[in-house]
A and B are shown apart, each in its own frame.
Chain A
Amino acid sequence: MPRFLPLFTKALTDSWRSTLAWALGLTAAIMLYLPLYPSIGGNSQMQDLINALPPEMTKALNYDQIATGPGYTQATLFGLVGFLLMSMASVGWGAAAVGGDEESGLLELTLAHSVTRVQVVLERALAILVRIAFLSVLVFLLVLVLNGPSELSIDVGHLAGAVLLFAALALLSGTAALCVGALTGRKIYAIAAGAAVAVLGYVFNAVGRQSPDVAWLLNLSPYHWAYGNSPVANGADWGAVAGLLGISAALIMLGAVALQRRDVGV
């Protein structure tokens, strides 16, 4: 009997080790960062120290907002460590999904069996989405657990919105990697594309925040689309959610069409 979504289930079961590793990494980051808030963000001496830093630096690191619990969580977890870990996981999965699979020679035999190429791209993209959703739910729950003990005072609804943007932003890097892998069949190009979305998004945000002259860079930064209005403090910008998910969907479709049209394994 043909199994339901065989490529999807295989992609998930094959990657449980890496999913678990990223989950452990995120858990460790959250456990290390958030309990420090009462002694950092709420501490007036620490605030003095931050005030003494060059304003360019505090803006680049989003440390201008760490005086509040939501701002601290936004800047340290969603804006930095969590963003870094999630982007790396997502880009790795996206690059492996088609580009890496083709380069290692495995895709040829899969395609020789009874699957369509569109199906390969869609099922594997779905598997990435599910893994990112899993990690995001984990992050949501951990922050929720620490909300009280770490005196973060985060609104649960706002946290949910922020986690949604966190997931959508990571997904975008992953789908960019998936798309370029499907276009080129090369893992390295796929990783470069996914990393570029994450890194350039971060850099454009950091630079764009420095002065009104370069503020236009913010418009090019998916990072800024997601976090520009500090969702942990203010709730999700639903336009940004729709935009990020929409672009990811378009990248997946583009990858599927591209793979459908070209030679594989040459």
Chain B
Amino acid sequence: MTQAIVVEGLRKKFGPREVLHGLDFAVDSGTVFGVIGPNGAGKTTTMRCLLDIIRPSAGSISVLGQDPRRAGTALRRRIGYLPGELHLENRTTGRRVLEHFAAISGPVDPRYVNSLADRLDLDLDRQTRKLSKGNKQKLGLLQAFMHKPELLVLDEPTSGLDPLVQQVFHALVREAVEGGATVFLSSHVLSEVQQAADAVAILRDGEIVTVSTVDALRTAAVRQLRFISTGTEAHDVGALLARVPGVANVALRELPADGHTAGTVEATATLSGHVQHLVQELARLNLTDLVLEEPDLEEAVLTLYTGSSQGNDNGHNHSQAIRTEGAHRA
């Protein structure tokens, strides 16, 4: 598999202040790669280096097999870029903004522009200064997608978009990838990335804490478990849960008998890792209710940000894998 982006030892200094301390990562062609990190972690700086808007102080960058510093205009025609802070001209319409970018980065199929505008529900003939933040962001996305680039570099793409439009955005990303494109996107919130990305790099203070697949993060992350069973004593339910690897924070409560069978137990717990064992064990019980929540990847990542090995009440059982990978930072 070829790699659309290869970054090695990327450092960037602004004056005496170094904001990127030697990043190493690679993005496989035809995948979606997300970078997550708090504001100021270096996401935008990294993306600007890929576009040759700013120049690395050290390290090497390869974008679509070329050094952006030397490749010139032909390379940037193959890239669609959405800046993190999108600024648009005021006294013009969305259509004219797009026409200008099409003139310098074309060719662009006008029918494709119109279909994108329809899907994003954006009126291209409105004055840009009258557009809301969300609508400006749509225009920014449109100019990044419209020439069907091989690589999309999107800095906080879902910022300001309402949930419906975010779904459209995720669909556009999927279509781009199905068409062979590679997508490199950033967010300060994992939940925005996890839906789109195959792999995730977590960036903190100019260093990559970990690169992981969303699946691995999902496995590592902690789920909330709650169920109600009947016909089994609380003590036995506890023993059963104790046999399942990854289960912690077990709390059991006998529900008052209300004409049902004796021994109605409500159990809550956390689960990290695979669900297979749990499901097998639970199959022995007579369940009347079961809730196994979406894993809270956010929580898993937040522990990495803060650099502490301790999460909240439910989060202390975080993945060993992530913790050891993150440990070299200490």
Contact = CB atoms under 8 A, between A and B. Distances in A.
A108 interface: yes
B74 interface: yes
B81 A109 contact: yes
Interface string A48-85: 00000000000000000000000000000000000000
Q: Name the residue among A104, A106, A110, A113 with the largest chain B CB count within 10 angstroms.
A: A113
A1 interface: yes
A106 B83 CA distance: 10
A213 interface: no
A106 B85 CA distance: 10
Contact of A108 (B53, B55, B92, B143): B53
A116 B100 contact: no
Nearest to B90: A104
B170 interface: no
A110 B36 CA distance: 26
A114 B83 contact: no
B305 interface: no
A266 interface: yes
Nearest to A103: B87
Contact of B53 (A2, A116, A264): A264
A136 B106 CA distance: 35
B231 interface: no
B77 to A, nearest CB: 4
B208 interface: no
Contacts of A265: 48, 53-54
Nearest to A106: B87
Given A2-B103, A109-B81, A116 B73 contact: yes
Contacts of B55: 263
6 contacts: A14-B91, A106-B87, A106-B89, A263-B55, A265-B48, A266-B54
Interface in A73-132: 104-106, 108-116
Given A1-B106, A3-B103, A10-B100, A114 B77 contact: yes
Nearest to B89: A106
Interface string A1-25: 1110011001000100000000000
Contacts of B79: 112
Nearest to A109: B83
B14 A115 contact: no
Contacts of A108: 48, 53, 83, 87
A6 B53 contact: no
Interface in B12-61: 14, 48, 51-55
Majority-rule SS of A interface residues: loop
Nearest to B81: A112
B104 A113 contact: yes
Interface residues of B, number: 30
A1 B107 CA distance: 6
Interface residues of A, number: 23
A57 B301 CA distance: 74
Contact of A115 (B48, B73, B87): B73
Interface string A143-178: 000000000000000000000000000000000000
B101 interface: yes
Task: Enumerate the 3 nearest inter-chain pairs by beta-carbon distance, A residue then B residue, closest first.
Answer: A105-B87, A263-B54, A112-B81
Given A108-B87, A115-B73, A115-B104, 7 more contacts: A1-B107, A6-B100, A10-B100, A105-B87, A114-B76, A116-B72, A265-B53
A109 B86 contact: yes
A264 B143 CA distance: 20
Contacts of A109: 81, 83, 86-87, 101, 143
Contacts of A112: 51, 53, 76, 79, 81, 83
A106 B86 CA distance: 8
B224 interface: no
Contacts of B319: none
Nearest to A115: B104
A187 to B, nearest CB: 14
Contacts of A14: 89, 91-92
B315 to A, nearest CB: 37
B85 A105 contact: yes
Given A113-B76, A263-B53, A104 B87 contact: yes
Contacts of B53: 108, 111-112, 263-265
A3 B103 CA distance: 5
A130 B92 CA distance: 22
Given A108-B83, A265-B48, A113 B89 contact: no
Nearest to B77: A114
Pick the most buried of A1, A111, A114, A264: most chain B CB atoms within 10 A of its CB. Answer: A114
Contacts of A105: 83, 85-87
A146 B35 CA distance: 67
B230 interface: no
